[in-house]
Amino acid sequence: MVRLTAVDLKQASGKAKDLLDKIHATLGRTPNMMRTMAHSPAVLEGYLGFSQVLKGGTLGVGLREQIALAVGEANRCEYCVSAHTAIGKMVGLGDAELLASRQAVSTDPKTDAALKFARTLTERRGEVTDADFGMVREAGHTDGEIAEIIAHVALNIFTNYFNKAAGVEVDFPKVTQGAGTLAAIR
């Protein structure tokens, strides 16, 4: 159920219009999540700023999308799982990788450790153990990479909660939540 409607692009004004125009110019479209955040330009600008800064980090785009899928699935956010499945395909992730990421697993040991750590952070609300840190370090992640994994989890929890609470309408190909087959992501 939609609780906050997406801002009509023709009705946007001021800072919200400026931000939405920049998004459209960059992406060629303006996703409903961002249009809904635009009710508060501070919320939208905060999201955009945090996202942009993290893109300049050391984690690759594929891993960032995989983390988003693991967190989105853990939080049962249909919008985010749908969006990051579509984006994941655009950055070269295959159907099997997309589904596995939602389950926080990977055939690559370093990616697998990052996804498991991200899922653990999400499920335990940040209360991880020394063993959890040891596992991700032993897989080869640096302290900087671990810090970025934590930051990406936080960013994705924000968008998951925002989309679920606001009831943002999915404007990407819908992905079935909790589905265990590749058919769910086609």
Whole-number Å distance between alpha carbons of 92 and 84: 12
The 8-class DSSP code of residue 10 comes to T
pLDDT score recorded for residue 177: 75
The 8-class DSSP code of residue 3 comes to S
**What are the tokens at 108?**
């690559």
CATH number of 61-185: 1.20.1290.10
What ranges do the domains of the chain cover?
A: 14-55, 61-185
pTM above 0.85, yes or no: yes
pLDDT score recorded for residue 10: 92
Whole-number Å distance between alpha carbons of 78 and 55: 23
Please give the single-letter amino acid code of residue 157: I
pLDDT score recorded for residue 180: 52
Whole-number Å distance between alpha carbons of 38 and 71: 23
**What are the tokens at 14?**
């001021």
pLDDT per residue rounded down to tens, the chain (186 residues)? 899 999 999 999 999 999 999 999 999 999 999 999 999 999 999 999 999 999 999 999 999 999 999 999 999 999 999 999 999 999 999 999 999 999 999 999 999 999 999 999 999 999 999 999 999 999 999 999 999 999 999 999 999 999 999 999 999 999 987 655 444 443
Burial of 163 (0-12, 13-18, 19+ CB in 10 A): buried
